[in-house]
Amino acid sequence: MSRIGKVPVAIPSGVTAAIADGTLTVKGPKGTLTLTMREEISYTLEDEKILVKPANVSKQARSFWGMQRTLVDNLMTGVTQGYTKVLEITGVGYRANVQGSNLKLQLGFSHDVDFAIPEGIEIKTPDNTTVEISGIDKQKVGQVAAEIRRWRKPEPYKGKGIKYRGEYIFRKEGKKK
């Protein structure tokens, strides 16, 4: 039995949910999100709650149960609060700033890196070593953060590169004489 799957997902005030044609649509103050429903899982709307249960007793249905409930919960959080990831840039001369619909990164390459900001994502640079990525879709926010981080992952000797806020970089000792 899935402990996560058993808990119903509460629908906050100001949010409407609808099930039609195999998709769950959630509308809230920040926008609209949809989720394609799995056939192995049954979704039911009951008095300001969404219940997620396996449709049959197969192993596949039980394995999707908790994940699908979490995805529904992520929709509710996304349309009410949204998601934010913060990246920190460390290194001499490394900096970032937003110019129009592009994020310009200077990361020690011979050229600047221009990252096109996808639709539905908002990127802010409060200072030139911090990048805040926000949006209503948790997967999209995480994917954009990972793509930006991939340009210069933190290295273990000096810690230079792009890291998530709160991420610990395992440091190595350098060469000795």
| Contact partners, residue 86, CB within 8 Å, separation at least 6 | 130, 131, 132, 133, 164, 165
Domain 83-164 has CATH 3.90.930.12: yes
In this predicted model, what pLDDT tens digit does every residue of 83-141 receive, in sequence order?
A: 999 999 999 999 999 999 999 999 999 999 999 999 999 999 999 999 999 999 999 99
The fold for domain 3-80 equals: Outer Surface Protein A; domain 3 (3.90.930)
Residues of the chain with CATH 3.90.930.12: 3-80, 83-164
* pTM over the 0.85 mark: yes
1 has a pLDDT exceeding 70: no
Give the rounded distance of the alpha carbon of 76 from its chain centre.
14
Tokens of 137: 């879709």
In this predicted model, what pLDDT tens digit does every residue of 89-100 receive, in sequence order?
A: 999 999 999 999
- As a whole number of angstroms, the distance between CA 107 and CA 91 comes to 8
